Amino acid sequence: MHAINRFLLLSGLAAIALPLGLRADGEIPVDVVVNMTAAGNAVARPDASHPAFYFPVTRGFTEGGEFLAGEALPPATWQVQHMVAMALHQEGYIYCGRAHRPSVLLMLWWGYKAPVIIDNNDYVNTPSINGAADFNKGGATPFYSDPINTAFRTGNMLTSAVINKTEMEELVLGSDYERETYRNLPSLRLERLVNASRVPRYYVMISALDFEAAMRKETVVLWTARISTAREGHSLAEVLPTLIAEGVPMAGRPTDGPEWLVSPIVPMGRVLAGTPVMKPGAPPER
């Protein structure tokens, strides 16, 4: 039933996002990991018969890690909010409006995270950082800062590290993973997870907080869903509908580590509205 609902939601987003006659093409691997807290496990997950009313807090588009040149403009905030609200509604999470007091505060943000990689000679392997001061002076990068020349000169084997390693690993593996547990994973799966955390990734994150606790200025997290895919070859607007359609139905459900889904890409289109017209005979209150 869960798979059927996800298919219907994906089809619904395609119907909204795609102009008539345009066909979705291609697939992307989507990584979904949901971390539940003890407080979240104590709350029954909503459904259509027993919905949970939420109040949204949108943090919007965010960039993390190394700056990525050539990034296209992100989709409009209202477009992303609308798609997420539709997907949440399918799962029993309903916007509270003015008629209902919410029980959940949902925080939403999206964007990209990119690793900042540095080697053991303090050489940052990113063009926007390395050699910036020297080039600004009209010179060239000094010989000793070149990693290959340094290796020849010192005889040392170069190794590299990710400065924002924890941030990148949390995006792929979740926030409560245990390193020792993942070391026991089959080697191919572990290699895939590590490689996924070392490349730029587009993502959507939703975090659920207890609303009453928030009103008391207390932070009680119920669950956090992280949904991402590799950036290479795509734009954020291209993959966002798929990330939302695949990941939101799993929000509030604990995952046993990262779950990988191969999903069709649904390009984001435009919704054009005409000029509002009052039709004869319409009730005045409308």
- Cα separation of 250 and 87, whole Å? 10
Q: Per-residue pLDDT tens, the chain, 286 aa: give them.
A: 444 444 334 444 443 343 322 234 588 999 999 999 999 999 999 988 999 999 999 999 998 888 887 788 899 999 999 999 999 999 999 999 888 999 999 999 999 999 888 765 555 554 443 333 333 333 333 333 444 444 444 455 445 677 888 888 889 888 876 655 565 666 666 777 778 888 899 999 999 999 999 999 999 999 999 999 999 888 999 999 999 999 999 999 888 778 888 888 865 654 333 444 444 554 444 3
Classify residue 277: in a domain, yes or no: no
Same domain, 132 and 83: no
Same domain, 6 and 137: no
Same domain, 46 and 173: yes
Classify residue 284: in a domain, yes or no: no
Sign of CA dihedral 72, 110, 61, 18: positive
How many domains would you assign to the chain? Answer: 2
What's 195's domain CATH number?
3.30.160
Same domain, 124 and 108: no
Classify residue 21: in a domain, yes or no: no
**Among 105, 134, 163, residue at a domain's last position:** 163
Same domain, 220 and 125: no
Residue 135 phi/psi, 5-degree rounding, is: -70, -35
Same domain, 121 and 9: no
Report the amino acid identity of residue 74. P
Question: Any residues with CB less than 8 A from the CB of 113 and at least 6 apart, and which?
Answer: 63, 64, 65, 164, 167, 168, 171, 200, 201, 203, 228
Q: Which domain holds residue 220?
A: 2-13+27-115+164-264
**Among 163, 195, 227, residue at a domain's last position:** 163
Classify residue 92: in a domain, yes or no: yes
Same domain, 109 and 134: no
Residues 171/201, Cβ–Cβ less than 8 Å: yes
Same domain, 59 and 92: yes
Helices 77-90 and 2-17: crossing angle, nearest 10°? 150
